Amino acid sequence: MSKRFAGKVVLVTGGGEGIGRAAAFAFAREGAEVVVAGRHPDMLHDTVEEIKALGGRASCGIADVTRQGDAGDAGGACDAEAIVAAVVERHGRIDVAFNNVTELGPNQPVAEICESVWGETLAANLTGVWLSMKHEIAHMERNGGGVIVNTASNIGSQGMLPGLGAYAASKAAVSTLTQTAAREYIGKGIRINAISPCPLGRGAKVEEIADTVLWLASDEASYVVGHDLVLDRKTAV
């Protein structure tokens, strides 16, 4: 039986744990060359070694995709730009990108959120996705197309859970950013969607979420564009 991602190169940010790790394993099982990126080397290396032990192909890159370049950086490059460039240099292209870096942040009422927590939460959940998309899209435009899946949250898209205002705002913005970018770039062969899992309650297991990410990234979902797919049971918040 053919594997859906045989010969494809897949970049997974936040690939050292949780949904990102499960997605990395799932893509590898389906024949992809997987590159996991994130801030925690030990977790990333564990993911890579376990994929290899199961016969898959994987490597990793240490990157904080929320970090923006400035004049003091060598070449002014940010981590998101650097990891995309590294994958392209190593494998020639990126066919699929799963942008999955997520910070839940502390549970606090809106008026009690300090500015640093607000900024850090938006940087992790929104700016990191934007920077990743910025450089992934630039490469995919040059390479004739590709697929991007972003992680939003149903707390952002469907309802507000008290105490998670910064998280909800950042994830709702990811959903809107996804829909806007999808309309801007589908004509250039780049298909962009999002998933919205529920981080609390039953929701979906990471393996179930990974299966959905793979479906959105596959040719089976070639007609799905600019969609934020909510992954939870009707009873989940």
Catalytic residue IDs: 167
In the block, which residue shows the tokens 């829909």? Answer: 179
Give the CA count within 13 Å in the CB-facing half-sphere of 13. Answer: 32
Question: Largest Cα–Cα distance in the chain?
Answer: 55
Helices (H), 39-196: 41-53, 79-91, 115-122, 128-143, 154-157, 165-185
Long-range contact set of residues 114-118: C-beta below 8 Å, sequence gap at least 24: 117/166, 118/166
Query: Cα(first)–Cα(last) distance of the chain, in Å?
Result: 39
* Separation between Cα atoms, residue 194 and residue 100, nearest integer Å: 10
For residue 120, CA distances in Å to 3, 70, 83, 144 come to 39, 18, 21, 34
For residue 99, CA distances in Å to 76, 92, 110, 116, 201 come to 22, 19, 26, 23, 23
